[in-house]
Structure 1
Amino acid sequence: MKVAVFGGTGLIGSRVVENLNAAGHQAVPHSLSTGVDLITGQGLEAAVAGADVVVNLTNSPTFDDASLPFFQTSMDNLLAVSEKAGVGHFVILSIVGVDQVPELVYYRAKVLQEDILKAGPIPYSIVRATQFMEFMDATLSMTADGDTVRLPRTPLQPIAAADVARVVAEVAAGSPLNGVVDIAGPDVYPLDELGRLTLTAKSDSRSVITDDTAGMFAAAHGDVLTAPKNARIAPTHYTDWLS
């Protein structure tokens, strides 16, 4: 099976390509660095030619209002080329609870991406994952101020990128779901506690101040960003990943 993986050189995409090839498929990574641009359409037809499956793991370069036209244009372009090429399965990676946080423009943009795929001409699968463990440092930096980091008590259920990539590869190699599969890590933490755990493990002397108005995750209410019923639970614990 030939799989065209867009965003195939990134954190998740490179692992998806590796997993698919290890399973005997022909996975080819595509990205701006390989000369493929989903916005302008440069290199798209050649990238999709002969592919049985398209996996789109590209991401907006910003989390602001510009993310909406990014996903609109990139999905429109890639779906059109994929349909013309006879692609039989289209896979994207999204976020658990993405439709429950309308206050965040980036989450609205990801919902738009999902909706475009659902309404499109190609059988599809959507993999929704919880927050990546690898993004914890970036999350801390968003609200860091000198010797302190302000974080809300928002419950998160972090998942390792390797576990995400494994499921995306499995889904891509299977039959289209024409629906959503949710995946999450095994443990739920309030974000402020997760921050303290992370700083301690890294021997970082900064302290965490609980502030339920701080950062982007303050917009998520209740446990909407944790695993819903019937989610697949990945094996990697955050404490093991940290060590």
Structure 2
Amino acid sequence: MKVAVIGGTGLIGSQVVRNLNAAGHEAVPHSQSTRVDVISGQGVEQAVAGADVVVNLTNSPTFDEASPAFFQTSMDNLLAASHKGGVGHFVILSIVGVDQVPQLDYYRAKVLQEDLLKAGPIPYSIVRATQFMEFMDAVLSWTADGDTVRLPATPIQPIAAKDVADAVGEVAAGAPLNGIRDIGGPEVFNLDELGRIILSHKGDPRTVVTDPTAGMFAAVEGDVLTGRNAHLAATRYTDWLA
């Protein structure tokens, strides 16, 4: 099976390519570094030509009001090229609970991406993942101020990037779901609690203050970012830290 992995040199994409090739498939990574530009359309038709499956792991460079335009244009270009090339399965990576947080520009943009895929002409699969463990340091940095890190008590279910890549590769190698598969880590934490665990592990003396108004995740209500019916990955957060 030939798989074109768009965004195939990034955190998830590079691992998806490696996994699929190790399983005997022909996975080819494409990105701006290989002269494939999903916005201008440069190189897109050539990238998907002859592919049985396209995995789109490209991401908006910003999380703000500009992000819907990125997903609209990139999906239009990729779907048109894939349909023309006879691709039989199109896979994207999205976010658990993404349709439950309309307050966030980026989450609305990801819903748009999902809707474009569902309405398109190609059998599809959507893998929705919970928050990546690898991104937690960045989340803390958004609301850090001197000796204090302010975080809301939003429940999250962190998952390791390796486990995300494993799930995406498994779905890509299978029959189209024509639906959504949720994946998540094995544990749920309140974000402020997780912040304390991270700082303690690093010997960081800063204090985490619970603040329901702090950062992007303050806009999230309830536990919508956790996957009640998700396929659970094996990697626990403390093991990943270690």
Is the structural similarity TM-score above 0.5? Answer: yes
Please name the residue that 2:72 is paired with: 72
* In 1, Cα distance between equivalents of 2:203 and 2:90: 43
Is 1:173–2:173 an aligned residue pair?
Answer: yes
Is 1:85–2:85 an aligned residue pair?
Answer: yes
Please name the residue that 1:59 is paired with: 59
- Aligned partner of residue 11 in structure 2, secondary structure: coil
Is 1:20–2:20 an aligned residue pair?
Answer: yes
Please name the residue that 1:241 is paired with: 240
Please name the residue that 2:100 is paired with: 100
Is 1:30–2:27 an aligned residue pair?
Answer: no
Matches within 5 A, 1:106-117: 106-117=106-117
Please name the residue that 1:118 is paired with: 118
Consecutive unaligned residues of structure 2, counting only runs of 5 or more, are none
Please name the residue that 2:6 is paired with: 6
Consecutive unaligned residues of structure 1, counting only runs of 5 or more, are none
Please name the residue that 1:203 is paired with: 203
Q: TM-score, normalised by structure 1?
A: 0.99
Q: How many residues align?
A: 242
* In 1, Cα distance between equivalents of 2:197 and 2:117: 38
* In 2, Cα distance between equivalents of 1:228 and 1:200: 28
State, as a whole percentage, how many aligned pairs show the same letter.
Answer: 78
Is 1:130–2:116 an aligned residue pair?
Answer: no
Question: What is the one-letter code of the residue matched to 1:237?
Answer: R
Q: CA deviation at 1:237?
A: 0.1
* In 1, Cα distance between equivalents of 2:57 and 2:234: 22
- Aligned partner of residue 12 in structure 1, secondary structure: helix
The Cα offsets for residues 103-135 of structure 1, whole Å up to 9 and x where unpaired, read as: 000000000000000000000000000000000
Question: What is the one-letter code of the residue matched to 2:117?
Answer: L
The Cα offsets for residues 170-194 of structure 1, whole Å up to 9 and x where unpaired, read as: 0000000000000000000000000
* In 2, Cα distance between equivalents of 1:45 and 1:82: 7
Question: What is the one-letter code of the residue matched to 1:177?
Answer: L
- Aligned partner of residue 86 in structure 1, secondary structure: coil
- Aligned partner of residue 110 in structure 2, secondary structure: helix
* In 1, Cα distance between equivalents of 2:106 and 2:190: 22
Q: CA deviation at 1:228?
A: 2.5
Matches within 5 A, 1:150-169: 150-169=150-169
* In 2, Cα distance between equivalents of 1:35 and 1:146: 42
The Cα offsets for residues 15-43 of structure 1, whole Å up to 9 and x where unpaired, read as: 00000000000000000111100000001
